Amino acid sequence: MYYGAIEAGGTKFVCAVSNDQFDIIDRVSIATTVPDETLDQVFTFFDEYSLKSIGIGSFGPIDVNKNSSTYGHVTTTPKPGWRNFDFLGAIKKRYHIPVAWTTDVNAAAYGEYKRGNAKNSESCLYLTVGTGIGGGAVVNGRVLEGYGHPEMGHLFVRLHPDDTYQGFCPYHENCLEGLAAGPAIEARYGKKGDQLEKEDHVWKMEAHYLAQGIANYTLTLRPEKVVLGGGVMKQKQLLPLIRSEYRNLMKEYVSTPDLEDYIVAPGLKDNAGITGCLLLAAEECEA
């Protein structure tokens, strides 16, 4: 018997199965097209295994409120076919086993908390900075959800005094995501981030916004570890700049571990999400 995991992204699905020790024994990557087509391939993969449970970490927004009539659905995504799709229901209909259901970033937070760079911490925040910005967290031993899941990327932040870019968020224009996700970098400078590696001012601006987000998350949640993943964070020069901006902003007002141990890269690298899904599958089995 195995655990199954689905890290459902807007571009690709990663599915995996593991043994009880969470060693991944098989995995597959599937393009995210329309639900029927994508799930057909998911089923083909999992049908080969006898599964105890499945953990899903999904792109969003999704409904995670167990008291809601649309619990388990993808909600207001612009992605064709996925809006209002009963994702959890489709998986449960195929496999009559326990299924854990949360966001991709909550799954990644849980993976880092149990097996990654937050494994000796009692709480953690996971932030992905890529085409969007999303955050998940583990609080009191469980992923952070409430009436819905966190939407940390949409935090309202102060503008950098030198920034004239208006932001690309269709809801809030210049929220954190609108100013600091990958598309904002490209729109502001006319080039993608990986073509701007040597431009210090680009990364200082980026660090200004991300540090402000991390400061506000810290004041609200007081996590023991902040793990930063996603495509934009592949720029290695960014992490020390974020720590430095954070230090200037917070003025040591609240205690944290040393910043080098507090604001860190993912210990599981690109496997944080899928590992978290496997661990949540195991938890769901025990629940």
Least distance from C-beta 264 to its own copies, angstroms? 14
| Closest C-alpha among 257, 166, 263 to residue 212 | 263
Q: Report 33-62 residues binding its own copies (CB under 8 A).
A: 61
219 near its own copies (CB under 8 A): yes
Least distance from C-beta 189 to its own copies, angstroms? 24
Positive or negative: CA dihedral 114, 119, 122, 128: negative
Cβ–Cβ < 8 Å for 219, 121: no
* Of 146 and 190, CB closest to its own copies: 146
Q: Report 137-156 residues binding its own copies (CB under 8 A).
A: 139-142, 144-152, 154-156
* Of 38 and 256, CB closest to its own copies: 256
Structure tokens at 189: 């400078």
Interface with its own copies (CB under 8 A), residue from 104, 112, 224, 245 = 224
* Of 13 and 246, CB closest to its own copies: 246
d(CA 62, CA 9): 12
Q: Report 245-284 residues binding its own copies (CB under 8 A).
A: 249-251, 253-257
- 133-139 vs 12-18, strand pairing mode: unpaired
Strand order of the sheet with strand 99-103?
Answer: 24-31, 12-18, 2-8, 51-58, 99-103
122 near its own copies (CB under 8 A): yes
Least distance from C-beta 208 to its own copies, angstroms? 11
